[in-house]
Amino acid sequence: MEDQTQDFYTLDQYEVKLTKIDDRLLIEIEAPLAAKSFSIEFTSPMIPQATNDIFPDVSTMYQGLQDALLKTHPEVSIYFDGYGGLAYQVSFSVGVIKKEHKFTLDLIEKKLDPLLRLEKKMENKLAQIMKKVSEIEKQIQPEGGLTQTPEINQTGKEEILKIIERLEGRIFEKLDNMEKRVTALEEQKTGNNSSDIDVNKILNALSRLEIPKETQESSKAVTQDFKVLFDSSSSKASGFAFSNGNKTVEFADPNLHFEIPFNKELPKTGKIVLSVKLEVIPNSIWIGIISEEHLSKACWYEFDINYLTAGGIVFNNAVATMPAKEASSGFGKAGDVVSMVVDIDEGLIVFQVNGSEVNLIKVELQGKMFIPYCGAFEKGCKITVI
């Protein structure tokens, strides 16, 4: 009789299922909004090599993944990149030296029939939208008729309810149109007696379900230059020399501070680009964003998102995510322009060197305040925002 254990977890916007059956471990991850599924299976002999000898067998790996997903230990982290990469990292200190052990598992995406995937994506998107509508309605008209938001007057409530009604009408109108398109495509597929179907065309049509309309328009907006300066009033400013009207910083004393923020937070919506020119670059720099909750941390590079010019690697909470697209020699020379293109609505950050994309990351950006910043370890490093 098989000994089976199964557990479910939430990892950011993903749903994770761990199944241990005797000496086998199955890892399954669902991305509901993208209607994608990923999985990988191990037996004990495969685990030491797959985990860089962190775990010796199925039982220990199962327990280790459980602890990471439950955030039982602060020194252990786990991250899924949305494309199949599941990264695990454990950090510890030996005296003043910080040690890290990590591995990345490459899960395999389950291929769905295009129409089935479209149907699932529509259902998940509609459920998400209707949940938001329901939450707003509860705030405006809670049970018992007593408002939970007394600062909203009657006129304001009526206006919000009108918006909700228009939103609901738009949702169902678009769903009706999408149903007709799907039916036509299905008939075409059946009539041609072929499984060939333009998946991109279907998914492009699905993108029209991005409600409300204002969100659709903002995601298509032209990328705006993000006009910022280095923040000389920051508590970290003591480690830097400022010039050129705070457009240029020189890393004067990394023993004090080695990260400096810009003077503006990211906007709540839209798409921006922030670029810096590497004037003097003894070693490497990193550029990234830090959330409000982590501003008080001593080392920002251990939190949220940053891109390191040495090797072109992107880190999410100190865990390396996707490998760079080009050789590392092209990422951090004096004279290079390093750019960070941030699409808040799509949750996408693209990193560029001299206008060419070198790496990217999908991450939830809405609902939090993020501050962009730069960092370096070497004295004499000089950077100019452009």
Pairing of strands 224-225, 271-280: parallel
Phi/psi of residue 18, nearest 5 degrees: -110, 130
pLDDT in the model for residue 141: 57
Q: Which fold has domain 4-109?
A: Dna Repair Protein Xrcc4; Chain: A, domain 1 (2.170.210)
User: Where do we find the tokens 């809405």?
Assistant: 366
CATH code, residues 224-385:
2.60.120.920
pLDDT in the model for residue 149: 45
Contacts 24+ apart (CB under 8 A), 16-23: 16/69, 16/80, 18/62, 18/65, 18/66, 18/69, 20/58, 20/59, 20/62, 23/57, 23/58
Phi/psi of residue 179, nearest 5 degrees: -60, -40
Q: How far apart are the first and last CA of the chain?
A: 66
pLDDT in the model for residue 250: 92
Name residues of the chain where pLDDT drops below 70: 1-2, 33, 94, 112-126, 128, 130, 132-133, 135-222, 254-256, 311, 318-331
pLDDT in the model for residue 194: 43
DSSP for 6-59? EEEEEETTEEEEEEEETTEEEEEEEETTTTEEEEEEEEGGGHHHHTTTS--SHH
pLDDT in the model for residue 211: 43
Contacts of 268 (CB under 8 A, 6+ apart): 344, 366
Q: Do the Cβ atoms of 60 and 74 come closer than 8 Å? A: no
The answer, as to whether pTM is greater than 0.95, is: no
pLDDT in tens, 122-166: 666 667 676 766 766 666 555 554 444 444 455 555 666 666 666
Contacts of 283 (CB under 8 A, 6+ apart): 310, 376, 377, 378, 381
Distinct helix (H) and strand (E) counts, the chain: 6, 22
Q: Do the Cβ atoms of 318 and 91 come closer than 8 Å? A: yes
How many angstroms separate the CA atoms of 143 and 325, rounded? 54
pLDDT in the model for residue 16: 95
